Amino acid sequence: MDLIGNRTLADLLTERDARHPHRACLVVEDRAGAVTEYTYAEVLDAVRRAAGGFAALGVGRGDAVVLHLRNSAEFVFAWFGLAWLGAVMVPSNIANSPAELTYLIEHSEAVGVLTEPDYIALFADVFADVPEVAHRIVARGDADGFVPFADLLAAPPAPPSENIGPEDVAEMLFTSGTTARPKAVMITHANCLWGGERVSRGAALDERDRLLTALPLFHINAQEITLLAALTVGGTAVVLEDYHASGFWAAVRRHRATAVSLVAMQARTLLAQPPTERDAEHEIRRCVYAINVTEQEKDAFERRFGVELINGYGLSEGGTVVTMSPVFGDRRWPSIGLPNFDRRIRIVGEDGRDVPAGEVGEILVSGVPGRTLMKGYFKDPEATAATVRDGWLHTGDNGYLDEQGYVYFFDRRKDVIKRAGENVSASEVEFALLAHPAITEAAVVAGRDPVRDEEVVAFVVAPPGEAPTFEEIAAHCRTRLAAFKVPTRIHVVPELPKTSIGKIEKKLLRLRLAGLPGGDER
């Protein structure tokens, strides 16, 4: 038995309601600036009613339901309502294209979709390809052919969950990796509870904290670093529907937030705003951060806004947070911190053996699948077995340790591009490019973006006599990919550099982008 015990998300919410029923649990500010606050008792009631509504439709244990929603109370009620029944929430990036949504629904074997009026036209195309989706639900408005989520919330509350265990899957997160199609990471109830525990301990949070995020709830960052961490300590989660750099600190002050979670794009866009005398006027005491900015940007941000960035590292397969900078100790920037209280880390070389301090190798994380690591990839036992071996998660990320055990991120082995906090699979973009009739070969690499961290850069080869334009290729990609995955630079080249065995040598393409020697080699 681990310290989380045999508990579920339903147990967590019920326990917090029993302790603090009248305390603010969830605060949501929508795009228009309207603010709605819910106590723990009100959230629990809405969750139980949502569960009753889903059950009345026929949704039950193990059934997957796609949530294609903006940040909202409905997202939280639906997620926990499904968890109450032992069903599975499948969050969808609201930037997903019809082709991506179709794949997500088909691969997850979803029995239902919950969306909102802004995306009804999008789903008209999707349902043409997956007409078998039984339950079509709309929140925050009405739409023909969709059941209002408000009707589900009007249902009698579902009774307490039975026979649902901590290793039951609570959600499936689709994550970009080394393949052309995203893999579905199975996240259990225990994974969620451990995630909240790690963040709350690592950031030294307590029940007085008000955790604010403008990151999307369809990402695990906002789910665990804000919502689940707040629930773990009995604090308050404050969720903004949209992120606007110009109004972010005003929202922080307005909601009396004491903790926030940021990514590099947000830090840079906040620094780009005109300075004001009120920049450091707030109650923030914890600023959890991921994806490094430069040391100059870090120093400027901390000096101007009067906060310390708590650097960290995590991944969906690892149950989110793996390391965090000490709140009360030496941060050693640009270190990504020390292993969390329950974590064991190894850095190994190509031979699988531990390397000395200071030497770069792959980051491995110890854990128990279904408890402290993902349960696995849905319908992909081969990829699961390749990723989790002998109790160690092979992250596909390179790093190194110093003599005191601090972890430093070096680069990614996985062919993944980080764009404004989103993971973009280079293979997935290449797959879309190769579907264009005037492209015979394609290679996608990361370029440097001063605001969004990295940009998607494509090198393509066209057949003799063909000369596809940037606009043509980008328009083609937009029919298959979310907007943030579409290449921002496309180079049509006579040929791609190859190794002796015919493999595309992306290292040379990266050198070419950086203007370094070797980049012009073929």
388-397 pLDDT, tens per residue?
Answer: 999 999 999 9
pLDDT surpasses 70 at 503: no
| Shared-domain flag, residues 334 and 462 | no
311 Cβ contact partners less than 8 Å away, ≥ 6 residues apart? 289, 290, 292, 324, 325, 331, 333, 334, 335, 336, 337
Distance from the Cα of residue 339 to its chain's centroid: 20
Of 479, 472, 395, 412, give the one whose Cα is nearest residue 439. 472
| Shared-domain flag, residues 492 and 399 | no
**CATH code for position 159:** 3.40.50.12780
| 227/230 Cα distance (integer angstroms) | 5
| Position 30 in a domain | no
| 262/336 Cα distance (integer angstroms) | 14
Cis peptide bond prior to 334, omega within 30° of 0 = yes
In this prediction, residue 180 carries a pLDDT of 65
| Shared-domain flag, residues 77 and 159 | yes
**CATH code for position 381:** 2.30.38.10
- Convert the pLDDT of each residue in 43-73 to its tens digit: 999 999 999 999 999 999 999 999 999 999 9
| Beta-sheet strand order (sheet of 88-91) | 147-148, 135-138, 112-115, 64-67, 88-91, 169-175, 183-188, 376-377
In this prediction, residue 448 carries a pLDDT of 87
- Convert the pLDDT of each residue in 154-169 to its tens digit: 999 999 878 899 999 9
Q: Is 340 helix (H, G, I), strand (E, B) or coil?
A: coil
| Shared-domain flag, residues 350 and 438 | no
> Is-contact 10 161, C-beta < 8 A?
yes
**Of the candidates 372, 396, 414, which is a domain's last residue?**
414
Please state the rounded mean pLDDT for residues 365-385: 97
In this prediction, residue 1 carries a pLDDT of 47
| Shared-domain flag, residues 378 and 434 | no
For 74, phi and psi rounded to 5 degrees?
-60, -35
| Shared-domain flag, residues 71 and 115 | yes
Kindly report the average pLDDT of the chain as a whole number: 92
| Position 394 in a domain | yes
Q: Which residue has the higher pLDDT, 425 or 383?
A: 383
Both tokens assigned to 183: 């893999």
Confidence category of residue 313, pLDDT binned at 50, 70, 90: very high
| Position 246 in a domain | no
Per the structure, how many domains does the chain have? 3
pLDDT surpasses 60 at 519: no
| Shared-domain flag, residues 62 and 143 | yes
pLDDT surpasses 60 at 517: no
**Of the candidates 140, 160, 192, which is a domain's last residue?**
192
| Shared-domain flag, residues 341 and 448 | no
In this prediction, residue 320 carries a pLDDT of 87
Confidence category of residue 217, pLDDT binned at 50, 70, 90: very high
Both tokens assigned to 258: 């004491």
Confidence category of residue 522, pLDDT binned at 50, 70, 90: very low
7 Cβ contact partners less than 8 Å away, ≥ 6 residues apart? 166, 189, 190, 193
In this prediction, residue 507 carries a pLDDT of 78
CB-based burial label for 218 (10 Å; 0-12, 13-18, 19+): buried
- 358 C-beta neighbours (distance < 10 Å), count: 11
In this prediction, residue 500 carries a pLDDT of 53
| Shared-domain flag, residues 46 and 176 | yes
Of 228, 186, 187, 191, give the one whose Cα is nearest residue 211. 228
Extended strands (E) in 257-406: 259-263, 286-290, 309-315, 320-324, 338-339, 345-348, 361-366, 376-377, 388-389, 392-401
**Of the candidates 159, 192, 225, which is a domain's last residue?**
192
> Is-contact 322 313, C-beta < 8 A?
yes
Distance from the Cα of residue 67 to its chain's centroid: 14
| 103/481 Cα distance (integer angstroms) | 11
| Shared-domain flag, residues 468 and 492 | yes
- 318 C-beta neighbours (distance < 10 Å), count: 24
Please state the rounded mean pLDDT for residues 6-30: 97
In this prediction, residue 521 carries a pLDDT of 35
Q: Is 413 helix (H, G, I), strand (E, B) or coil?
A: coil
| Position 143 in a domain | yes
pLDDT surpasses 80 at 177: no
| 363/184 Cα distance (integer angstroms) | 21
| 342/199 Cα distance (integer angstroms) | 12
| Position 162 in a domain | yes
- Convert the pLDDT of each residue in 80-127 to its tens digit: 999 999 999 999 999 999 999 999 999 999 999 999 999 999 999 899
Please report where in the chains the tokens 């100059």 appear, as a residue. Answer: 296
| Shared-domain flag, residues 464 and 375 | no
Q: Which residue has the higher pLDDT, 228 or 511?
A: 228
Of 87, 83, 62, 2, give the one whose Cα is nearest residue 368. 2
| Shared-domain flag, residues 45 and 121 | yes
Query: Which residue type, as a one-letter code, is found at position 352?
Result: G
For 117, phi and psi rounded to 5 degrees?
-55, -35
**Domain encompassing residue 335:** 308-414
| Position 208 in a domain | no
| 120/101 Cα distance (integer angstroms) | 13
pTM recorded for the entire structure: 0.86
Please state the rounded mean pLDDT for residues 200-219: 97
| 211/213 Cα distance (integer angstroms) | 7
pLDDT surpasses 70 at 211: yes
Q: Is 96 helix (H, G, I), strand (E, B) or coil?
A: coil
| Position 490 in a domain | yes
- Convert the pLDDT of each residue in 470-483 to its tens digit: 999 999 999 999 99
- Convert the pLDDT of each residue in 330-367 to its tens digit: 999 999 999 999 999 999 998 999 999 999 899 999 99
| Position 484 in a domain | yes
Both tokens assigned to 74: 């409905």
Both tokens assigned to 227: 């919502």
Distance from the Cα of residue 6 to its chain's centroid: 26
Please report where in the chains the tokens 């003599």 appear, as a residue. Answer: 403
**CATH code for position 479:** 3.30.300.30
pLDDT surpasses 50 at 420: yes
- Convert the pLDDT of each residue in 240-283 to its tens digit: 999 999 999 999 999 999 999 998 889 989 999 999 999 999 99
For 246, phi and psi rounded to 5 degrees?
-65, -25
